[in-house]
Chains A and B, each alone.
Chain A
Amino acid sequence: MPILETKSLSKHFDALVAVDSVDYSVDSGELRSIIGPNGAGKTTFFNMIAGDLLPTSGQVIFDGADVSEVPAHERSHLGIGRTYQITNIFPKLSVLENIRIAAQSRKMTFNLWSTVPSHKELVEKSDQILERINLTEKRDELAGTLAHGEQRYLEIGIALATDPKLLLLDEPTAGMSPEETIQTGEFIKGLADPLTVVLVEHDMEVVLGISDKITVLHNGAFLAEGTVEEVRANAEVQRVYLRE
């Protein structure tokens, strides 16, 4: 059963058609990638799934419910977590607090006047996530002082702390060295199943090894979908994308 579906999803900015009637479906536990040249509409498409943009027409169906008009923060509570192309963290908070505030957002009632270490289960959960993203040692440092790659991991950690069913990663390896990129690919692979992961990448090499399926967008429209080999062999894809 698909956890995420889009039906004829479109977004127009005045005369510009950024996303043009895209049908898309992701099964639970899959690791999927969306690629396409710059301006292909990947991030716009992504923003509509996350709720940062509302569609001009078409539907977004998450976990069996139509969420097309649901605002981003409510989708977060439904189980859609995301990261951004430009790192989006709290630079002035400690690494732990960054994770902690995300974990805390899942609790509806909260004693605001209590001290930060007093909620044991939240601190434990945050520490587990720090362990997973390999930042335990930097726990008490200000997030703004981390290296670029570490900040990208922290951002994924923030998303993980919100207990998502679907994790959307927007160019997670942007600005990373080739080595970091390979490591990050492996890390993302480890996140999938039970988690469903969809990532957007500009650089196809990043996604080659790890994705179950790759979807190619071009000029806002669906161009091709399939395994790495299938997409590589596709003549259309070669024409618009790979030779670029």
Chain B
Amino acid sequence: MAAGGVEFSEFVQHLFLGLVQGSFWVLLALGLSIIFGLMGIINFGHGAFYMLGAYVGFTVSDLIFSPFLGPNAGFIVALASVPIVMFALGMVFERYVISRIYNTENERFSGVLIMFGMSIFLPDFVRLLWGRPGKPFNIPPMFQFSLFKTGTLDITAYRSFTIITAAILVALLWVLIYKTNLGMMIRAGTNNNTMVKVLGINVSRIWRLTFGLGIALAGFSGVMIAPLFAVDATMGELILVQTFIVVVVGGMGSFIGPVIGGLILGQLWALTPLVGRTQYVVQNWTGTVIGPDFWEKASDILLFIVMAVILLLRPRGLFGQEGAFD
């Protein structure tokens, strides 16, 4: 079966890759959105913490545990320990750095500056500790097989694992936000922060936990994506921009927004290069053929175009609440 010259199996392959990419965007966008919703901090350091998570995972897995326990167990230890380490790190960072700006003039702008500073500091810090070149991070042997393989279609085990893990995390996060006491207070604080304070609730503890949670999610995403790419000090840069696009498109102040936004953009991003493989190849006005190369590049640019269109037509995003930035 083929549509316009593209094999169906190739189409499914791209759907699959889009789902993988989208899953990571969803995890990062949720962390970004929850921190912003409660604390009003636009976390430009989110990508840097994601990158740091990957390096911590590399250290735990390749340097500490794999030599003794083997690469599979080493990787599992890394997956389990990185969120804990990053959660603690996030809380310490909130306590000793971010909390200093609360109730100061230009609180939000200070937050942006601090987190932007982290996005510059952390990569250099990582280069200092781990060296300038990136680190290879292999797919653990237990995941080195395909669940399904035919022609160009290859549903690999590890990529499937990331999708399922992301789905479970999103579900757990939903339970946390909508069914637990902490979640109720996060929602209350996001909704009406002054009121929470007036009720005499210990807001600082909620904020600390929330920031830790967002950073833990970022770090976990970093270590989970590491086997798919190499670990590198700049790995958080592009994905940070893409995550912001997901949040803008999905909408601030809602849980479903970043989830749907991430999944839709993941598909757009993955399917766009296919256009170049169709028989409907276009020529521009000079007669140059707009071929596969164009559509490969277009996929990155399309994200920005979608964001621009959303900002023009529906500034609060697909599922966002009006006034989320007030």
Contact = CB atoms under 8 A, between A and B. Distances in A.
A92 B187 contact: yes
B199 A92 contact: no
A193 interface: no
B188 interface: yes
A67 B199 CA distance: 17
B197 A90 contact: no
A100 B184 contact: yes
Contacts of A102: 199
A101 B197 contact: no
Interface in A88-102: 88-93, 97, 100-102
Contacts of B180: 112-116
B187 A110 contact: no
B184 A116 contact: yes
Given A93-B188, A114-B180, A76 B200 contact: yes
A90 B199 contact: no
Contacts of B209: 112
B223 interface: no
B191 interface: yes
Contacts of A77: 200
A2 B21 CA distance: 66
Given A90-B191, A91-B191, A112 B200 contact: no
Nearest to B194: A88
Given A112-B181, A114-B181, A101 B191 contact: no
Main DSSP-derived SS at the B contact region: helix
A6 interface: no
A88 B188 contact: no
Contacts of B92: none
A128 interface: no
Contacts of A111: 181
Given A104-B181, A114-B181, A89 B192 contact: yes
Given A101-B184, A112-B181, A92 B191 contact: yes
B100 to A, nearest CB: 19
**How many residues of A sit at the interface, in one of the four size bands?**
20 to 34
Interface in A47-74: 52, 72-74
A77 B185 CA distance: 18
B198 A101 contact: no
B200 A105 contact: yes
A162 interface: yes
B182 A93 contact: no
A116 B191 contact: no
Contacts of B182: 112-113
A176 to B, nearest CB: 21
A222 B180 CA distance: 48
Interface string B197-236: 1111100011001000000000000000000000000000
A105 B192 contact: no
A72 B197 CA distance: 8
Contacts of A92: 187, 190-191
Contacts of A82: 198
Interface string A101-145: 110110000111111100100000000000000000000000000
16 contacts: A73-B197, A74-B200, A88-B192, A88-B195, A91-B192, A97-B184, A101-B184, A101-B185, A104-B181, A105-B201, A112-B185, A112-B206, A116-B179, A116-B181, A119-B181, A162-B200
Interface of B: 179-182, 184-185, 187-188, 190-192, 194-201, 205-206, 209
Given A73-B199, A90-B195, 15 more contacts: A73-B197, A76-B199, A76-B200, A77-B200, A92-B187, A92-B191, A93-B184, A104-B181, A105-B199, A105-B201, A111-B181, A112-B185, A114-B181, A116-B184, A119-B181
- Which are the 5 A-B pairs with shortest beta-carbon distances? A112-B182, A76-B200, A73-B200, A105-B199, A105-B201
